[in-house]
Structure formats: C-alpha cells, structure tokens
Chains A and B, each alone.
Chain A
C-alpha cells in the first residue's frame, strides 16, 4: 500500500516537473483560443490535466464562457440598462426628420 502511494506521488511529481505549472496553464489555456498549441504542447497540457483537477475545471469553464458570450446579444432587452430616454428619442426623431428633408 505504501509502495503504491509512493509510486503515485513519484508519478505526480514527474508529470509536474515535465509540464507547465498551473499559472502557466491558465495563460496557455486562454492562448489556445487564439492559436492552436503545437502537438507537443497539447500533449503536455493534456498530461497536466491528468494530475490537476483545477486546471481541468479552468479549461472547461473558459470553454463555457466562450460558448456563452455570443449569446449576450439575445439578453440585452432583459438587462437593467436603461433604453433611450424620452428626450433622446425626440432628439433622434427630429434629427432623422431633418436629414430626410
């Protein structure tokens, strides 16, 4: 049992020493949305995920934000952001009338 634990710890340390640390992983995860990482880097990142549930979550959550963000347009009407004021509306209508004549 102790041998198993020791082997486990050694493999975690080996992976840790051969992959980017978590701070670096957070930067690389964001960067992968801009340019695909090289195969070698992708493998290292995958390997890191084997030993780190936090970086797995980080990547999953950035992917969620990436999927969600384009939908902000669909929810503008529900936001507590004020629309055009009555004065602004009147101003715009007047300017459009002027421009049309």
Chain B
C-alpha cells in the first residue's frame, strides 16, 4: 500500500477522472491482492501484478457502467478539422496551403522519439489527453495505451465498431493537433 498506493491511484485517476471512484478501485485492487496473494508467487513484479488487477477492476467498472450510460460520443471534434481542408474547387478536401496559410501537419522535429524521454513532453501529452471528453479518452486509452483489440473494446463498452472508429479517428486527430501546438511547434 505504502509502496504502490500512489501509483495505482494515479493510474486509476487518469482513466476515471474521479478521485472517489479511483480510491474505490485501488481499495478493491488491494483487497483482491490480499485474497489472491498466494497466486502472486513472485511470477511478475509486484507492481505489474497489482496494475494487472487494477486494469481488470476498471474494465469491470466500464462494463457495468455501459449498461446504464452510453459510451458513444459523436459530438467531440465532429467537424474533423474541416476548417483545415479546402472547402471547394479542384483540390476540395485537400489540406489548405496557400499564401500565408499552411494548415496541413507541420514537420515535427527530426527525432520526435527523443521527446519520449522528456518529462515536459509527457506533461503536454497528459494535458492534451485531458482535453478530450471522458468517453473519448476512455476508448483512446483502451486502444492505444492498453492495446486492447477493437472488438473487445466494443464488447466491454457496448458500442458499435463504426462508432468506435469514428471516436478513435477524432481522438487521434485532436491529440496530434494539440501536441503539434503545445509541444512540437515549440521545439523547432
């Protein structure tokens, strides 16, 4: 508890955005760990074992919540950056780039991978994720952070695959744009 309590709480809080709920999840995790302590047997690091339990608890929570409320959010970023695409003419739907306006994705630094070691990068990443509505951030985290397959996400959250794809597309688009503005745009 002393050793991993804070980490587990942050892990849950970032996902659930509700400190009371995050606290409950941490408590359930430790209770499950106490009951199943004999199953641990040092097979993996203690922290990973606890995180594994916590992940399952959070998924159970989502499963239950999906029976009462919808996880589908087709409002967020519904314009899909339409202000950045040419509205008509020969190159309709192309990124706008004319005199004085370069609205397509800019070149990020020559080695964006170097950002992964920067604390400030992760702060920007977290702030950008936080700007997404909770349900959109939930599907993004399940898919991109936890690497859960689309079909399993749909089953857990009770949403259709096509709605999931729309939400993921908009989440990636928004995160990319936000990081370009708040991080990569300032690195050049």
Q: How many residues of A contact B (CB 8 A)?
A: 49
Interface segment, one of B2-10, B38-46, B61-69: B2-10
A22 and B94 form a contact (CB under 8 A): yes
A16 and B165 CA atoms in complex are apart in Å by 25
- In the complex, A2 has a CB within 8 A of chain B: no
- In the complex, B147 has a CB within 8 A of chain A: yes
- In the complex, A8 has a CB within 8 A of chain B: no
Q: How many residues of B contact A (CB 8 A)?
A: 60
Would you give the 0/1 interface string for B146-188, flagging 1 where the beta carbon is closer than 8 Å to chain A? 1100100000000000001100110011011001100000000
- In the complex, A76 has a CB within 8 A of chain B: yes
A binding-site residues for B, Cβ under 8 Å: 13, 16, 21-24, 26-27, 30-31, 33-35, 52-55, 57-58, 61-62, 64-73, 75-81, 83-84, 88-89, 91-93, 95-96, 99-100
B binding-site residues for A, Cβ under 8 Å: 1, 5-7, 9-11, 13-14, 19, 23, 26-27, 30-31, 34, 51, 80-82, 85, 90-95, 97, 104-108, 112-113, 115-116, 119, 122-123, 125-126, 129, 140, 143-147, 150, 164-165, 168-169, 172-173, 175-176, 179-180
